[in-house]
Amino acid sequence: MMKFTCAIMMLAPATLLLQPKMLYTTTSSYSFMLSLLSLTLMKPQSNLYLNLDGISTPLLLLSYWLLPLSILASQNTMTKEPLGRQRTFLATLVVLQSAISLTFMADNLTLMYVMFEATLAPTLIIITRWGQQAERLTAGTYFMLYTLMTSMPLLLAILFMNNLTFTPTSFSTTMQPLGAWTELLLWLACLLAFLTKMPLYGLHLWLPKAHVEAPIAGSMVLAAILLKLGGYGMIRMMQIMPTMKTDTFLPFLVLALWGAILANLTCLQQTDLKSLIAYSSISHMGLVVASIMLQTPWGLSGAMSLMVAHGFTSSMLFCLANTTYERTNTRILILTRGFHNILPMATTWWLLANLMNIAIPPSLNFTGELLIASSLFNWCPTTIVMFGLSMLITASYSFHMFLSTQMGTPLLNHPTQPTHSREHLLMTLHTIPLVMISMKPELLF
């Protein structure tokens, strides 16, 4: 594991020293080779300092796989920038990837918290420095304030737990029972930071702003990996903290399920394509929060499946939105219609991405949502009404997004570039892992 971490870190100085004509080919091929080599981590590893198990390995591999894809997706936009900014952008992406890798490899709470917070700086730089709109500074401020304010209680809780055990709290240790109020406050302090990162509805206002203003690489990493840090942290807390009755988490469960419906309804009235995809992420993460809170094996399996599936699906949707934006210079749905007549192959990718977004069988999204629905229904039969309503609205806005962008008469009055081989490769590399994991979903359980 150390060799992978060192290899990805060495890519940062390489981006600053490579010859200009070799910059993108070398970084993308090197990072893609690393992502293929990282598949060997699926086998159980033993390491004294770093930790990988069935929870962290799939998410770590997802982060490795997304780095070359985010470089590929940014290539067209970034080549128009000065060389210095291109090098800085690639170096920032690599630093972010290194921090994410160390977060998933941490074997104790303190190290995980440090690396969890270390992802803030490069993400903030990417949003505020390479954002597309004038509001990117506001989006960066929202992102920083929400993350830092909710991380303070988590830091205090970790220091409190370290003080009890006189050592950094390892994931393999389970805390002894404390007083009822102490346990409740500890749970709230620990969960708040992760629920904001997911984000839970009500703590979600930073996400649409960050997504809309971020460049394509920022949106991909944010949707595919950084949101999963919240779910990962919650699962780790379930391992360490004293067990609580599910009824204690009832407010969060209700808010997660109801928030998923509200986020889906918000999707129906969005006019901005990236904002629509961002709100769909909130609704899917609401289901993940609800399933983790149940603390059942099926719930955790469903949460892991949906997190990985959503990582690929949302990243693919953002890439498709970016290909549309590069040709129209707008993200307004009504102005991007009629692409089926101009780029029929892109329409195929749009259809495939939307079908996976609504969890069509036998995709991995379907496996995750089926496990989550089963565990929720087993806990309380009434939840099937909220779950069913959420699925219905998800299908509605997904087809609305597909029809709005692809059907109708094109409004473009200038020649449009055909889809490039790079873009087809990008979509293929999103689809192949999803299809292969769908054939063997027990890799994630």
**What is the amino acid identity at position 438?**
S
Report the candidate in 348, 305, 316, 311 with the shortest Cα–Cα distance to residue 437. 305
Mean pLDDT, residues 127-133: 84
Q: What is the pLDDT of residue 45?
A: 60
Q: What is the pLDDT of residue 386?
A: 92
Mean pLDDT, residues 375-395: 93
**Residue at a domain's end among 214, 237, 260:** 237
- pLDDT band for position 256 (50/70/90)? very high
What share of the chain in percent tops pLDDT 70? Answer: 98
- Burial status of residue 19 (CB atoms within 10 A of its CB: 0-12, 13-18, 19 or more): exposed
Q: What is the pLDDT of residue 44?
A: 62
Count of helices and strands (H, E) across the chain: 19, 0
Q: Does residue 370 carry a pLDDT above 70?
A: yes
- pLDDT band for position 240 (50/70/90)? confident
Read off the pTM.
Answer: 0.94
Report the candidate in 336, 218, 337, 231 with the shortest Cα–Cα distance to residue 278. 218
**C-alpha–C-alpha distance, residues 343 and 397, integer Å:** 22
Q: Does residue 52 carry a pLDDT above 90?
A: no
- Burial status of residue 401 (CB atoms within 10 A of its CB: 0-12, 13-18, 19 or more): buried
Please indicate, yes or no, whether residues 305 and 419 belong to a single structural domain of this protein: yes
SS3 418: coil
- pLDDT band for position 211 (50/70/90)? confident
Q: Look at the chain and report how many structural domains it folds into.
A: 2
Please indicate, yes or no, whether residues 201 and 285 belong to a single structural domain of this protein: no
- Burial status of residue 326 (CB atoms within 10 A of its CB: 0-12, 13-18, 19 or more): middle
Contact 217, 74 (CB under 8 A): yes
**Residue at a domain's end among 206, 237, 268:** 237
**What is the amino acid identity at position 195?**
L
Please indicate, yes or no, whether residues 266 and 217 belong to a single structural domain of this protein: no
Please indicate, yes or no, whether residues 204 and 352 belong to a single structural domain of this protein: no
DSSP category for residue 170: B
User: pLDDT (tens digit, 9 = 90+) per residue, 15-32?
Assistant: 988 898 889 999 999 999
Please indicate, yes or no, whether residues 217 and 278 belong to a single structural domain of this protein: no
| Percent helix, strand and coil across the chain, each to the nearest 5 | 80, 0, 20
Give the residue, 178 or 120, on which the prediction is more confident.
Answer: 120
Contact 330, 410 (CB under 8 A): no
Give the residue, 218 or 247, on which the prediction is more confident.
Answer: 218
Whole-Å CA distances, 369 to 63, 74, 93, 406, 435: 22, 31, 31, 27, 16
Q: What is the pLDDT of residue 177?
A: 76
Q: What is the pLDDT of residue 42?
A: 80
Tell me the angle at which helices 23-37 and 2-17 cross, rounded to the nearest 10 degrees.
180
Please indicate, yes or no, whether residues 225 and 266 belong to a single structural domain of this protein: no
Please indicate, yes or no, whether residues 172 and 296 belong to a single structural domain of this protein: no
Q: Which residue has the tokens 């929202």?
A: 142
Domain holding 416, by residue range, is: 245-445
Q: What is the pLDDT of residue 46?
A: 52
**Cα–Cα–Cα angle for 298, 299, 305, rounded to 5 degrees:** 90
- pLDDT band for position 245 (50/70/90)? confident
**C-alpha–C-alpha distance, residues 207 and 318, integer Å:** 14
Largest CA distance in the chain: 69
- pLDDT band for position 49 (50/70/90)? low
Please indicate, yes or no, whether residues 188 and 314 belong to a single structural domain of this protein: no
Please indicate, yes or no, whether residues 213 and 232 belong to a single structural domain of this protein: yes
Contact 227, 246 (CB under 8 A): no
Report the candidate in 129, 128, 153, 154 with the shortest Cα–Cα distance to residue 142. 128
Please indicate, yes or no, whether residues 286 and 331 belong to a single structural domain of this protein: yes
**Residue at a domain's end among 173, 208, 237:** 237
Please indicate, yes or no, whether residues 226 and 372 belong to a single structural domain of this protein: no
- pLDDT band for position 312 (50/70/90)? very high
Q: Does residue 132 carry a pLDDT above 80?
A: no
Report the candidate in 199, 401, 223 with the shortest Cα–Cα distance to residue 313. 223
Give 305-308's long-range contacts (Cβ < 8 A, gap of 24+).
305/364, 305/367, 305/368, 305/371, 305/441, 305/444, 305/445, 306/365, 306/368, 306/369, 306/372, 307/59, 307/228, 307/231, 307/368, 308/58, 308/59, 308/62, 308/364, 308/437, 308/444
**C-alpha–C-alpha distance, residues 132 and 125, integer Å:** 13
Mean pLDDT, residues 263-273: 92
Q: What is the pLDDT of residue 34?
A: 92
Q: What is the pLDDT of residue 80?
A: 87
SS3 382: coil
Mean pLDDT, residues 310-320: 95
Residue 303 burial (CB count, 10 A): 30
Mean pLDDT, residues 287-315: 93
Work out the mean pLDDT of the chain and round it to a whole number.
89
Please indicate, yes or no, whether residues 25 and 150 belong to a single structural domain of this protein: yes
Contact 419, 323 (CB under 8 A): yes
